Amino acid sequence: MNPTVSATVAQFPVSLDISANMDHLLSILYAVEEQTLVVTPEGAVSGYSQDSIFLEQIDTVLLEHAIEKLRDEAAQRQLHLVVGSCMQELGSWYNAALYFGPSKEFYVYRKINLATSERGFFKAGDELPAFSVVICGLTVSLGIQMCREIRYPEQWRYLASKGVQVFAFLNNAVGDSEICPIWRSHLVSRAAETQRFILGANNAAPDQKCPTMIIAPSGKVLFEVVSPYTAMGNSKLNLLDVSNSVLDQARTDVISFSR
């Protein structure tokens, strides 16, 4: 079996209007082929803002219906979809990434390293899971990181040590385009140092802090866009390119790394 995965990153102008966000998301799903791994921005369903008052304005019933609709669409269209959304559970809000599979599989990653503006309003997750997904009969280990977690390479290394082959990086980093080259460098480094694929999707805005990108385990950029407009990038990911050669040469006798 050829260990190749079809992948798409998609950005669009994420708003606080769930219905408008859903229109964008559905148009993206209608444009990709079956058995594609699709990654979209942080807050792609619910919307996202650094001003926490937006959480009070979320229509939770509409949000639940939107999430269920995406789960149904992923199954109907035989897609592997990763979307960002705020989620309320037992009275607490989480900044989360949701995976929907073609057989209605459903996984959740709750962001563990919250931005300063999120603390006190969101509850942090407490797990860094590796999700096992089956794409065209090929079992793929998927890890998820979100936005400012780009600054914590130990989280990426931990997931790589658990066998993650592909990272979905959901981002809503806007407001200062001068930072974009820095965050771009961070993301390339996360790919090269872990020797994993990264599928990174940012909110489409005039002042993006990070491109929307697909990066190979070598650090080679396979797709990149910096734009305020909706955009999609596609690539074939050969999982044979994933390697542990860098991780295996770490000097654990000097600096220990616990899983």
Cα angle, residue 205 at apex, residues 202 and 209 outer, rounded to 5°: 55
Task: Give the three-state DSSP class for 90.
Answer: coil
The pLDDT value recorded for residue 233 is 98
The pLDDT value recorded for residue 256 is 75
190-201: per-residue pLDDT in tens? 999 999 999 999
DSSP tag of 249: T
* Statement: residue 156 has pLDDT above 70: yes
- C-beta of residue 226 within 8 angstroms of C-beta of residue 195: no
Q: What does pLDDT average to over the chain?
A: 96
Record the tokens describing residue 239, joined without a space: 């999982």
Where b means 16+ CB within 10 Å and e means fewer, 153-182 reads eebbbbbbbeebbbbbbbbbbbeeeebbee
Q: Is the dihedral of CA 206, 188, 225, 151 positive or negative?
A: negative
pLDDT, average across residues 46-65: 94
Neighbours of 132 (CB within 10 A): 12
Q: Is the dihedral of CA 52, 17, 174, 122 positive or negative?
A: positive
- C-beta of residue 169 within 8 angstroms of C-beta of residue 39: yes
168-182: per-residue pLDDT in tens? 999 999 999 999 999
Q: Which fold has domain 4-248?
A: Nitrilase/N-carbamoyl-D-aminoacid amidohydrolase (3.60.110)
- C-beta of residue 148 within 8 angstroms of C-beta of residue 111: no
Q: Where are the domains of the chain?
A: 4-248
90-147: per-residue pLDDT in tens? 999 999 999 999 999 999 999 999 988 889 899 999 999 999 999 999 999 999 999 9
67-88: per-residue pLDDT in tens? 999 999 999 999 999 999 999 9
- The C-alpha atoms of residue 164 and residue 190 are separated, in whole angstroms, by 13
201-245: per-residue pLDDT in tens? 999 999 999 999 999 999 999 999 999 999 999 999 999 999 999
Please tell me the pTM assigned to this model: 0.96
Query: Which residue type, as a one-letter code, is found at position 191?
Result: A
- The C-alpha atoms of residue 199 and residue 223 are separated, in whole angstroms, by 9
* CA max distance for the chain: 53
